[in-house]
């Protein structure tokens, strides 16, 4: 077994999320926060303002006129989209790296993250509480942050992990825990703690594969889980771990999600994938 200290020490080597992204994250989770608060935050960061205006004026959005101010940008695009862009700017560098242990090439974990966030947004609209949409979207985006560190340890132990998965039917995250001593959920929660994520966000990261029975009762965690497995089923940048995670049909039943609903969501997400691909290049 790897010395867990070696793994945990790596958290400090991760390029941290910019403080502004963390602050905006916190504001969007707070149902009482206002548009003005968020635009003030962005305005106080010249680099972010510049970046935001550049993105808004890019060919992707092709607005009929030049976007000249943060307020302008927010009124044209809506707060959701602005938050998305800020988060993307803050998070994408780490997620775009190649992850050998998980069999993911450059940008593949990022594609998976953005796609699952998109699916989580669809699920939140339909099955969640709407005030938590940002939380669910963002949690789906960052849930695999532990993989950024654990990848190299998985690479080292892949054979052993794979034996537990293929011949004993263990899920990939359980096998990670057994062989390495820690899985990407546990490590991701430690990263979230270090980066001052909210307790709820840390909880979702820690339990997004729902191994823990009580987590299956938590709506937001369950929706992030569903978004993840839907992307696996769609084959969106599934790597070495493939679809080797446990399915909990009861979670779908609790939400009154039928097989018909599941197929409908996959179809909708598939239809939107082209749009998601464009987001990846922002």
Partner 1 sequence: MEQNQMKANAVSMMTAVNFSEMKISRNPAETLVAFSIGSGIGVTVFDPVSSVGGLFNFMLPDSTQATGVNPEKVPLMFADTGVPFFVQALFEQGIQLDRMKVVIAGGAHIMDQTGLFNIGEKNYGALKNGLANYDVTIHHEDIGGTNSRKLSLEIGSGSSCIKIFGQAEVKV
Q: Which two tokens stand for residue 221?
A: 């965690």
Window 166-185: contact mask with partner 1 (x via CB under 8 A) = ---x-x--------------
**Do 109 and 193 touch, CB atoms closer than 8 A?**
no
**DSSP string covering 15-83:** PPPPHHHHHHHHHHH-TT--HHHHHHHHHT-HHHHHHHHHHHTSTTT--SS---SHHHHHHHH-HHHHH
Q: Is residue 154 within the footprint of partner 1 (CB under 8 A)?
A: no
Of residues 89 and 244, the one with the C-beta less far from partner 1: 244
Segment near partner 1 (CB under 8 A), from 8-16, 35-43, 176-184, 243-251? Answer: 243-251
Binding residue for partner 1 (CB under 8 A) from 2, 14, 97, 158?
158
Of residues 25 and 232, the one with the C-beta less far from partner 1: 232
* Shortest distance, position 197 Cβ to partner 1, whole Å: 27
Distance of CA 155 to the CA centre of its chain: 22
Task: Count interface residues toward partner 1 (CB under 8 A).
Answer: 44
Of residues 110 and 195, the one with the C-beta less far from partner 1: 110
Q: Is residue 151 within the footprint of partner 1 (CB under 8 A)?
A: no
Q: Is residue 234 within the footprint of partner 1 (CB under 8 A)?
A: yes
Binding residue for partner 1 (CB under 8 A) from 31, 44, 125, 247?
247
**Do 2 and 181 touch, CB atoms closer than 8 A?**
yes
**Do 86 and 47 touch, CB atoms closer than 8 A?**
no
**Do 164 and 158 touch, CB atoms closer than 8 A?**
no
* Shortest distance, position 232 Cβ to partner 1, whole Å: 6
203: CB partners within 8 A, 6+ apart = 189, 215, 218, 221
The residues facing 99 across adjacent strands are 104
Q: In this structure, how many other beta carbons lie within 10 angstroms of the beta carbon of residue 233?
A: 14
Segment near partner 1 (CB under 8 A), from 52-60, 63-71, 214-222, 246-254? Answer: 246-254
The tally of CA atoms less than 13 A away on the side-chain side of residue 63 is 16
Segment near partner 1 (CB under 8 A), from 135-143, 190-198, 211-219, 230-238? Answer: 230-238
Helix (H, G, I), strand (E, B) or coil at 87: helix
Binding residue for partner 1 (CB under 8 A) from 266, 276, 279, 282?
266
Q: Is residue 107 within the footprint of partner 1 (CB under 8 A)?
A: yes
For residues 223 and 243, what is the distance between their CA atoms, to the nearest angstrom?
A: 17
Q: Is residue 97 within the footprint of partner 1 (CB under 8 A)?
A: no
* Shortest distance, position 213 Cβ to partner 1, whole Å: 14
Interface residue list for partner 1 (CB under 8 A): 103, 105-108, 111, 158-159, 162, 165, 169, 171, 229, 232-240, 242-249, 252, 259-260, 262-264, 266-268, 270-271, 273, 277, 280
């Amino acid at each position: 077994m790897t010395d867990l200290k070696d793994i945990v020490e790596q958290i400090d080597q991760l390029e941290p999320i910019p403080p502004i992204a963390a602050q905006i994250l916190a504001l969007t989770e707070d149902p009482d926060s206002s548009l003005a608060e968020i635009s003030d935050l962005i305005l106080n960061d010249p680099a972010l303002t510049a970046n935001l205006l550049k993105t808004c004026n890019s060919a992707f959005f092709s607005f009929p006129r030049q976007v000249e101010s943060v307020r302008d940008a927010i009124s044209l695009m809506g707060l959701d989209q602005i938050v998305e862009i800020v988060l993307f700017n803050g998070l994408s560098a780490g997620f775009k790296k190649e992850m050998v242990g998980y069999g993911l090439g450059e940008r593949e974990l990022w594609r998976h993250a953005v796609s699952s966030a998109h699916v989580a947004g669809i699920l939140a609209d339909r099955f969640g509480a709407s005030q938590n949409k940002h939380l669910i979207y963002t949690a789906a985006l960052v849930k695999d942050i532990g993989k950024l560190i654990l990848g190299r340890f998985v690479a080292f132990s892949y054979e052993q992990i794979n034996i537990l998965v293929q011949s004993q039917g263990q899920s990939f995250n359980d096998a990670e825990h057994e062989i390495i001593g820690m899985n990407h959920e546990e490590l991701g929660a430690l990263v979230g703690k270090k980066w001052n994520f909210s307790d709820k966000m840390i909880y979702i990261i820690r339990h997004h594969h729902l191994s823990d029975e009580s987590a299956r009762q938590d709506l937001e965690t369950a929706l992030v889980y569903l978004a993840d497995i839907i992307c696996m089923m769609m084959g969106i940048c599934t790597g070495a771990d493939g679809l080797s995670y446990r399915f909990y049909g009861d979670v779908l039943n609790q939400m009154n999600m039928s097989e018909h609903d599941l197929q409908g969501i996959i179809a909708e997400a598939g239809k939107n994938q082209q749009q998601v691909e464009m987001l990846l290049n922002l």
